[in-house]
Chain A
């Protein structure tokens, strides 16, 4: 039994040693390369913008910040990211401001799914910030939400093992040779490359939890106030998404209660030719929506 235990212990020790070597190596590579919004944001310092867009894929896919820059004569970027929820938006803005960046306006995409606990498909993407756990701002923010981040920070390599689909071997090797694809342009926009529609003729969205502004969005708005940033709320277009009225109009109701104006574009482009799926615009739809948002919310009258 003793020799068996000795062999198993040696194996475990070798594994721990390997993890201790790989963890700083992976961290170094990811901190010095790009490919995700979190890396892009962390590398951004002392930049000054007229407007910043933030939100989920419905902000990322649907808006072309280059067109905004041209059309409004402004300097804008998009911090929006796939699956971003209020927690990620808040953290992204905190990092943005901590790095001495500034903006006059914050264009915040809100809709029923952002305002409830339920969002289709995937869980929170806080793991986007995995390589930056030695950053106190990020670590404290994450640990406050889930004590597991303690282990993710302190158990060598556990963070890269757990989130290997995002920060795994392939991504690390690609980053090391500078070949990790960057799914957004220099303004942070991802503009859908296709006009194909692959949604359905009826998409039912009936969350069971009630919509509310939530602590993260409230804090985000307070952050805007304390930094002199004008928040502009908007809702991106949908195609045949059916929800009960209390869900459909939750953003309008909640923003009105909070004394905020909401530019509601939910039904503004209700035709299949503008969509990739029921909740994401295609290239043509994105161009139309970008113009609409410029006309009504970003630079009205210009």
Chain B
């Protein structure tokens, strides 16, 4: 084998090894239950609990947004997020939260909203209806 071939094999091996052994950088979608036990940040796929209060009062604190979310097990938990309330938050179909549980609340460091597509097949806009 030439040096280049050795280097090639080494580099490809390194890439695969790095991916394979960086398990701590990955995690599966968790639940609130599991998040309460976990020490580190986890991702939880949730739905917004629309019947509960969605709180964002910028006059009180522009960096505090809180709401309640339900995970796949049906567990409900209060979520705090240090930022502004995203536009169209109420319409989001599902939310992926990144963060950890502290006592009774889930503290999210990041949120990814999945909003329904603007175009739903069942919806046909009738002229003049939108006034």
Q: Do A and B bind each other?
A: no
Q: A residues near B, CB below 8 A?
A: none
B binding-site residues for A, Cβ under 8 Å: none
